[in-house]
Amino acid sequence: MSILTPTGAGAAEHLGRGPLTADELAAVIARDIPEGAYVNLGIGRPTRIADHLPEDCGVVLHTENGMLHMGPAAQGAQVDPDLTNAGKVPVTELPGAAYFHQADSFAMMRGGHLDVCVLGAFQVSTTGDLANWHTGRSDDIPAVGGAMDLAVGAKAVYVMMSLFTKEGEAKLVPSCTYPLTGVRCVGRVYTDHAAFDITPEGARIRETWGSTQADLIARLAAAAAPRG
Amino acid sequence: MSRARVLETCDEAVAGIQHGSTVLVGGFGFAGMPFDLIDALIRQGAADLTVVSNNAGNGDVGLAALLKAGRVRKVVCSFPRQADSHVFDELYRAGKIELELVPQGNLAERLRAAGAGIGAFYCPTGVGTPLAEGKETRTIDGRDHVLEYPIRGDYALICAHRADPMGNLVYRKTARNFGPVMATAAGTTIVQVGEVVALGEISPEAVVTPSIHVDRIVAVEVRRHTVQGAR
């Protein structure tokens, strides 16, 4: 398992807090999204990042069903069935929004125009492979949506996930056992215990929450990868 | 025959769709779903259909109702499994329906290619994944790409906001989704709209789907649903 400690000054160890809740983690990711970036937030947990983006950050949210500058979830009379996010939740539009069809939406993604996407994951490898669309179980109905297109298209692919499964297995693994979404596509992994940069040498710790780097590395080494 | 026809009823609009046709169905969940055309297609009776759509039905209405009526042999889509996709889930688990899973962007671009006369295209999406297995690949500028072929429909059923009598269309918000690409990719494009306005009322600058892509238009009272249990 190639988990690396930072070079130079080292990563921040936040021993007083953590593991982070999903909302705390969303706030950490929101902090790291560059001002003015065009960003796609995957369905499920990454959607919460939008709630933590400062109003003046200038971030423009892309939703792959065909819109730029998506606003917050619609409330009450704002609900319009013709205006949803990729999770089919009614949303709102912000001044400066634009609508476009599916081929244009994915062209702007694949064409390298989107700065950041944040996706959920079942597993990420220390080489940046992503598995988030299929458990591989024979009774599972697979659904891929735009995940494979985002994985190859966005300039920076971030993953937001828990570091361990409920059974205690590591989700950051030497090699994914679940079917892949994309190969060597993930740049950064945000988890409840730590954030990592995927580098040519392996996953390098950026920050930890609730444990030291040494403890975290030991725990990851002890946790077996799940069986596919 | 190239000029679009404005028809009185959805039943007239879906007349002639044969058994075994490939039907492109617009919509992302319920946004842009041509509910009334699908209901008419159920009444019309065509079966053994291949349906190309982003999802495989939500709840018990629209595409889900067509599936439930047993008219669909195969679904080509990107995201079948959802909180409310029980109709598809049951058919799939019973082995009563075939699924071809296509990444959403590939679905859109393969439709676009069909409408644009492109024979095939190389795309980096899906490289190294099970969805690219058995497909031709090529390294271009140091990056691996997969060869993807067009998806052409015999018919497209889509929902737009407004049409003029020529067949020029405008859409509304994210209900636009697959409408414009599907309109180009089918032999016969059938559109339900909220209203047909007088010629000249849609600014030529605002037209999203030009009339050349539209064959049949029917105005229906707008009926919209919100997906339940959406994430």
Q: DSSP string covering B59-119, please?
A: TTBTHHHHHHTT-EEEEEESB---TT-HHHHHHHHTT-SEEEE--HHHHHHHHHHHHHT--
Band of residue A55 on the pLDDT scale cut at 50, 70, 90 = confident
Q: Which of A103, A143, A182 sits opposite B181 (nearest CB)?
A: A103
Q: Which of B78, B180, B224 sits opposite A82 (nearest CB)?
A: B224
Mean pLDDT for A96-124 is: 97
Which residues of chain B does A147 touch, with a Cβ-Cβ cutoff of 8 Å? Answer: 103
Nearest to B104 by CA among B138, B122, B131: B131
Domain extents in chain B: 5-44+106-219
CA distance A186 to A190: 11
Residue environment code for B59-68, b if the CB has 16+ CB neighbours within 10 A, otherwise e: bebbbbbbbb
Asked casually if ipTM beats, i.e. exceeds, 0.85, the reply is yes
Residue A98, chain B, CB below 8 Å: the answer is no
The pLDDT, as a whole number, for residue A205 is 95
The pLDDT, as a whole number, for residue A120 is 97
Question: What's the 3-state SS for A95-106?
Answer: EEEEECCHHHHH
Query: What DSSP element (H or E) covers B42?
Result: helix B35-44
- State whether residue A217 is helix, strand or coil: helix
Question: In the predicted model, is pLDDT for residue A77 greater than 80?
Answer: yes
The pLDDT, as a whole number, for residue A169 is 94
A109 to chain B nearest CA, in Å? 9
The pLDDT, as a whole number, for residue B231 is 39
The pLDDT, as a whole number, for residue A192 is 98
- State whether residue A150 is helix, strand or coil: helix
Residue A153, chain B, CB below 8 Å: the answer is yes
Distance of alpha carbon A37 from its chain centroid, rounded? 15
For the question of residue A64 being annotated catalytic, the response is yes
* Tokens matching residue B186: 């089918």
- State whether residue A152 is helix, strand or coil: helix
DSSP state of A153: H
Q: Which residues contact B229 (CB under 8 A, 6 or more apart)?
A: B82, B83, B84
The pLDDT, as a whole number, for residue A44 is 87
- State whether residue B161 is helix, strand or coil: strand
- CATH architecture of the domain with range B5-44+106-219: 3-Layer(aba) Sandwich (3.40)
Q: Which of A87, A99, A143 sits opposite B80 (nearest CB)?
A: A143
Interface touch B105/A146, C-beta < 8 Å: yes
The pLDDT, as a whole number, for residue A6 is 76
- State whether residue A165 is helix, strand or coil: coil
Interface touch B174/A181, C-beta < 8 Å: no
Distance of alpha carbon A157 from its chain centroid, rounded? 7
Residue A183, chain B, CB below 8 Å: the answer is yes
A3-224: what fold? Glutaconate Coenzyme A-transferase (3.40.1080)
Which of A41, A149, A175, A181 should we substitute to test contact with B (largest number of B Cβ atoms within 10 Å)? A149
Q: What is the pTM of this model?
A: 0.95
The pLDDT, as a whole number, for residue A7 is 65
Question: In the predicted model, is pLDDT for residue A227 greater than 90?
Answer: no
Interface touch B78/A146, C-beta < 8 Å: yes
CA distance A189 to A176: 14
Measured from the Cβ of residue B1, the count of other Cβ atoms closer than 10 Å reads 5
**Shortest CA distance from B84: residue in chain A:** A88
* Tokens matching residue A216: 């975290």
The pLDDT, as a whole number, for residue B230 is 46
The pLDDT, as a whole number, for residue A138 is 84
Task: Flag residues of chain B having pLDDT under 50.
Answer: 229-231
Measured from the Cβ of residue B18, the count of other Cβ atoms closer than 10 Å reads 11
The pLDDT, as a whole number, for residue B212 is 97
